[in-house]
């Protein structure tokens, strides 16, 4: 079975897909078979889920879409609401099985969560329960903007409470006008119990290969 990492964010729209794709390229550059997984996605454009498409395009092995993305919903709302509207209940056992299949086919599986770490997936379970069910170390994508210190530290606390390891974190530059950016990064380096893996501009025009070069995955 291959190794795996669960990528979560301090919020939605922090650049998780960009970082997940960069991680896939970085592991591929080490000669590893790397595949991306998006267990749950909500929000499509004309029947296309761009996060899923990007992960598939960046993976260097071919895998069944049903395993890469077990649950896909059209409305851009919280997964548990989207599932309710579709008359579906998100079952973590289904996701676990899909992950096991992907892990048997690859050296590394990058699992991108939906929204933040505690986003509800069904009536009882959250993204934290999914990460715990998969028993994966977590990579935290911190959206660098005003308020990110609190969001990052709370998320790190939730990861610890879930009994999981913070394998590392990425500073995602979603606000190019953020004041005291480097001071905020230094504060998080001091307070987060995991290494800074890199600083990645949240630039949709940036080549994924370039983003991959900004990450240091030696500690993973």
Domains of the chain, by residue range, sit at 3-213
- Active-site residue, from 16, 32, 33, 38: 38
User: pLDDT per residue over 96-151, tens digit each?
Assistant: 999 999 999 999 999 999 999 999 999 999 999 999 999 999 999 999 999 999 99
β-pairing, 71-73 vs 108-116, is unpaired
Q: What's the pLDDT band for 47 if we cut at 50, 70, 90?
A: confident
Q: Is the pTM of this model over 0.75?
A: yes
Q: Please state, in angstroms and rounded to a whole number, the distance separating the CA atoms of residues 144 and 160.
A: 21
The upper half-sphere exposure of residue 43, i.e. CA atoms within 13 Å in the direction of its Cβ, equals 11
Q: How far is CA 193 from CA 3, 64, 79, 144, 206, in A?
A: 21, 35, 29, 18, 29
Burial of 204 (0-12, 13-18, 19+ CB in 10 A): exposed
With H, G, I as helix, E, B as strand and everything else as coil, classify residue 46: coil
CATH architecture of 3-213: 3-Layer(aba) Sandwich (3.40)
Enter the tokens of residue 71. 């649950």
Q: Please state, in angstroms and rounded to a whole number, the distance separating the CA atoms of residues 133 and 145.
A: 31
Whether residue 199 lies in the annotated active site: no
Residue 69: closest CA among 113, 16, 34: 113
Mean pLDDT of the chain: 96
Location of structure tokens 């380096």: 189
Q: CB under 8 Å to 154, separation ≥6 — which residues?
A: none
Which pLDDT score is estimated for 205? 66
Q: CB under 8 Å to 107, separation ≥6 — which residues?
A: 2, 3, 27, 32, 33, 34
Q: Please, what's the b/e burial string for 129-168 (b: 16 or more CB within 10 A of its CB; e: otherwise)?
A: bbbbebebbbbbbbbbbeebeebbbebbebbeebebebbb
Instruction: Say what angle helices 127-134 and 92-105 make with each other, to 10 degrees.
Output: 40
Residue 46 clears pLDDT 90, i.e. is over it? no
């Amino acid at each position: 079975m291959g190794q795996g990492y669960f990528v979560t964010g301090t919020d939605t729209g922090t650049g998780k897909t960009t970082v997940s794709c960069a991680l896939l390229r970085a592991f591929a550059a080490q000669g590893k078979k790397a595949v991306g997984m998006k267990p749950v996605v909500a929000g499509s454009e004309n029947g296309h889920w761009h996060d899923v498409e990007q992960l598939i395009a960046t993976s260097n092995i071919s895998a069944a879409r049903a395993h890469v993305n077990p649950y896909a919903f059209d409305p851009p709302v919280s997964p548990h609401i989207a599932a309710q509207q579709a008359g579906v209940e998100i079952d973590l056992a289904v996701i676990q099985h899909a992950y096991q299949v992907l892990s048997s086919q690859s050296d590394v599986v990058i699992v991108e969560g939906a929204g933040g770490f505690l986003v509800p997936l069904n009536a009882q379970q959250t993204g934290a329960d999914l990460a715990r069910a998969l028993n994966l170390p977590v990579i935290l994508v911190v959206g660098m903007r005003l308020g990110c210190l609190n969001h990052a530290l709370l998320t790190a606390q939730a990861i610890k409470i879930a009994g999981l390891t913070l394998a590392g974190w990425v500073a995602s530059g979603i606000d190019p006008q953020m004041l005291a950016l480097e001071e905020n990064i230094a504060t998080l380096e001091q307070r987060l119990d995991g290494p800074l893996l890199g600083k990645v501009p949240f630039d949709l025009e940036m080549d994924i290969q370039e983003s991959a070069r900004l990450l240091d995955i030696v500690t993973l």
